[in-house]
Amino acid sequence: MSADSNPKNADQRYKDRMVRKKAVVDQSIARADQDRGVLLVLTGNGKGKSSSAFGMLARALGHGMQVGVVQFIKGSYSTGEEAFFRRFPEVRYHVMGEGFTWETQDKERDRAAAQAAWDVASELLSDESVSLVVLDELNIALKYNYVELEQVLEAVAKRPAMQHVVITGRGAPQALIDVADTVTEMQVVKHAFKAGVRAQKGVEL
């Protein structure tokens, strides 16, 4: 009888492997002993950037935190997340008035709307009662120069020490990645839209 076919040995090996894994995990956890506000950047072309930010919003609400959201580009959408999170008094929610830039085709109007959204973001970033700030699609506003990168870097650096910030959108500028604590690049493996499925309520909308 080989060692592999002996269930007792297999169980023991499983246990041994898990004991070693637990030791490694516990050690990593012990090493990570700081508590502070983190800056997260969610970028890349894949689906999940904004929804991830809204998932963190739900987590924060689960802990009774005050939170803020500014949506920089998706203003023309009537999204499920907006309908949902506006129900809660703990959420300050601002949507930029204009929607995707190729819908309006007017640079000055787009820039003015983005700046008004940025003013709300700045306020949230200087309010220590706000534990989590989501700046949804800010990277797009940065790409079109509707909001200045310098302004963003400065506001983020000066924010309250325990405040978390999540910035989403494809094409995050390198300077923002450099100052971030956690950065995820979401890559498209495949997307239903390409297969002819339109955006679905509860998934994209």
Question: Is 159 a binder of a copy of itself (CB under 8 A)?
Answer: no
Q: Residue 21 or 158: which CB sits closer to a copy of itself?
A: 21
Judged by CB, which is closer to a copy of itself: 119, or 199? 199
Q: Which of 6, 14, 109, 126 binds a copy of itself (CB under 8 A)?
A: 14
Q: Which of 102, 101, 133, 110 is nearest to 120 (CA)?
A: 133
Write the CB contacts of 125 (distance below 8 Å, at least 6 apart in sequence): 133, 155, 156, 158, 159, 163, 165
Are residues 131 and 66 in contact, defined by beta-carbon separation less than 8 angstroms?
yes
Q: Are 114 and 145 in contact (CB under 8 A)?
A: no
- Cβ distance to a copy of itself smaller for residue 53 or 120: 53
Told to check if 185 binds a copy of itself by CB under 8 A, we report: yes
Please tell me the distance from the alpha carbon of residue 177 to that of residue 157, in angstroms, as a whole number: 13
Q: Is residue 106 near a copy of itself by the rule CB under 8 A?
A: yes
In the complex, least distance from residue 24 CB atom to a copy of itself, rounded to whole angstroms: 9
Question: Which of 132, 141, 155, 176 is the binder for a copy of itself (CB under 8 A)?
Answer: 132
CB of 154 to a copy of itself, least distance (A): 21
Judged by beta carbon, residue 72 or residue 85, the one nearer a copy of itself is 85
Residues of this chain, 134-153, that bind a copy of itself according to CB under 8 A: none
Contact 59, 166 (CB under 8 A): no
Query: And the tokens for 195?
Result: 């297969």
Residues whose CB is less than 8 angstroms from the CB of residue 69 and which lie 6 or more positions away in sequence, other chains included: 57, 85, 91, 92, 93, 94, 133, 134, 136
Q: How far is the CB of 94 from a copy of itself (least distance, A)?
A: 17
Task: Using CB under 8 A, pick the residue from 116, 149, 153, 183 that binds a copy of itself.
Answer: 183
Candidates 107, 85, 96, 61; CA nearest to 169 is 96
CB of 26 to a copy of itself, least distance (A): 9
- Residue closer to a copy of itself, measured from CB, 119 or 162: 162
Side chain identity at 3, as an amino acid letter?
A: A
Under rule CB under 8 A, which residues in 39-78 are in contact with a copy of itself? Answer: 40-44, 46-63, 65, 67
State the nearest-atom distance from the C-beta of 82 to a copy of itself, in Å: 7
